[in-house]
Amino acid sequence: MAAGKNMSAPETADGSAKRIATFSPFGRALFNKASARALRRVGVVDVGSNSVRMVVFDGAARSPAYFFNEKIMCGLGAGMSETGRLNPEGRVRALNALRRFAQLAIAMETGPLTCVATAAVREAADGDDFQREVEAETGLKLWIIDGREEARLSAQGVLLGWPGAYGLVCDIGGSSMELAEINGGVVGRRVSSQLGPLKLRDMPGGKKGRSAYIAETLAAMTSDLGEQRNRLFLVGGSWRAIARIDMERRGYPLHVLHEYRMRASSIRDTLAHIQTYEDLESLRQRAGVSSARMALVPQAAEVLREVVRTFKPHDIAISSYGIREGMLYEQMPQKLRDRDPLIEACRFTESKDARVPGFGKALYQFIMPLFRTARPERVRLIKAACLLHDVNWRAHPDYRADICFDTATRANLGGLKHSERVFLGLALLHRYSNSARQTRFDQVAKLIDEPLRRDAEILGKAMRFGAMLWLQRDAEPGVLHFYPKKKILELTLTREAVALYGEVAQARFASLASSLDAAPKVTLPAV
């Protein structure tokens, strides 16, 4: 459904479809041109069954960054299975959170906040009243979306981070769980259910009753979706909490949830690990999960076990992107959607933070002869590294290498697997340091094999040397030729670059040649 069209009725039995109106959440074009590189600051609020979150996006148009991100655990949907109404305490907390967010939006100059409400508000008997109260008290218009629309927007959020992704998106909230298939950048069939942990926690019949309900509901969803045995993308706070526990159990060294991968066997082991704890407090503290989120993990774990058993995905990926990012993706022209989010984010960062914006492209063209046989997925990492090679120049020289590694491995970058984060981080580390041995990154570096670590070192040393031949952004420093069979690395300098090829540059060129197991050769321009 495009913005401005009528939404389909929610799958509820209480007549709440009357609350669904024309959906035009932003009220302004976010991307006036497909050629847009930067995003005008925009704020989105997601009023969920368990939490109320405000995110302000800024930065690269295709890969927006979180300028501001705050979540309040309100529990609007707690107890709804018994009362049919929003949790009174949760209403008060949610309203207070929305007052705060409305005030922050003015200070941040976001323009009107876009506020979307999901399962709890759309299903509650007093959802209309809450919607009116929010507008009267805060001036915010609250858009109530149905389950299928929630599934579509969440799936689009996944596509914002993974262009061309395929598989099944599973978005769990407090009161509902949505499934949507994606393939080739398009959202396909989608269904919504009441498999949220808040709903399940209040369900009569205990664990046996929940298990029967979960299995019955997923069987019905499967009949609507058909077989789904590709990748499973997990969206939602309860899934992220389980992923944190999986990281803690495995001793996984890179604590970045987005694009964290798990196998079905790992999920089963982690769910069994959770069950061994009578008191989850110690596990909660070790995994760094909030108390409110941990309280819902047992019920979410029951759902996830059945989801994995039912769909048998070949692998499972955590997505930090969901409904809020999907709303941005909604307004992107196709030409903008088709861009690489990683390269766009790196290009934006270079334009903002590098000493010579644009030199990254010249550096990329200079060093690419070393990587003539590189596959496209490696080429994009080389390009990203060159764009980022100088963005941390303000850091103290003793810490630049460390900061560069952190920039790549922990930054909010889309379209980047964990192994690619580590490769990029090591390349940038070697941009400023000859060696990565005996550093605090040793354990993280082991996430990729030795040949990849060597390739990252070569890329870093190539950038380290190329940066010595610093001219204008469009100048020609010279030409590199690498002859692997002859084991020769040849540098042909331009007249402008001869004076730049001093003692330090010579040492760095020799170091690069050594990493390639080649002999250095320098050719000077004819007089």
> What tens digit of pLDDT does each residue of 150-160 get?
999 999 999 99
pLDDT at 478: 87
pLDDT at 496: 84
Residue 330 to residue 320: CA distance in whole angstroms: 17
Q: What is the pLDDT of residues 285-334, one digit of tens each?
A: 999 999 999 999 999 999 999 999 999 999 999 999 999 999 999 888 89
> DSSP H helical segments within 226-340, as ranges?
237-250, 264-275, 281-287, 291-294, 297-311, 323-331, 334-337
Pairing of the two strands 478-483 and 488-493: antiparallel
pLDDT at 229: 77
pLDDT at 13: 37
Q: What is the pLDDT of residues 347-385, one digit of tens each?
A: 999 999 999 999 999 999 999 999 999 999 999 999 999
Q: What is the pLDDT of residues 108-126, one digit of tens each?
A: 999 999 999 999 999 999 9
Q: What is the mean pLDDT of each run of 10 residues along the chain (527 residues)?
A: 35 39 61 78 94 95 94 94 94 97 96 93 96 96 95 96 92 96 93 94 89 96 87 96 97 94 96 93 94 94 96 94 93 90 94 93 95 96 96 92 90 90 96 73 90 96 92 77 96 90 95 96 85
* Opening angle at CA 49, ends 46 and 51, nearest 5: 55
| CA-based radius of gyration for the chain | 26
pLDDT at 25: 65
As a whole number of angstroms, the longest Cα–Cα distance in the chain is: 90
Which amino acid is located at 381 in the chain? L
Contact 171, 151 (CB under 8 A): yes
What does the DSSP assignment read for 416-450? --HHHHHHHHHHHHHHH-S--TTSTTHHHHTTS-H
Burial class (CB in 10 A: 0-12, 13-18, 19+), 50: buried
pLDDT at 81: 87
pLDDT at 326: 94
Contact 87, 114 (CB under 8 A): no
**Which domains are seen in the chain, by residue range?**
16-146 (3.30.420.40), 149-324 (3.30.420.150), 340-473 (1.10.3210.10)
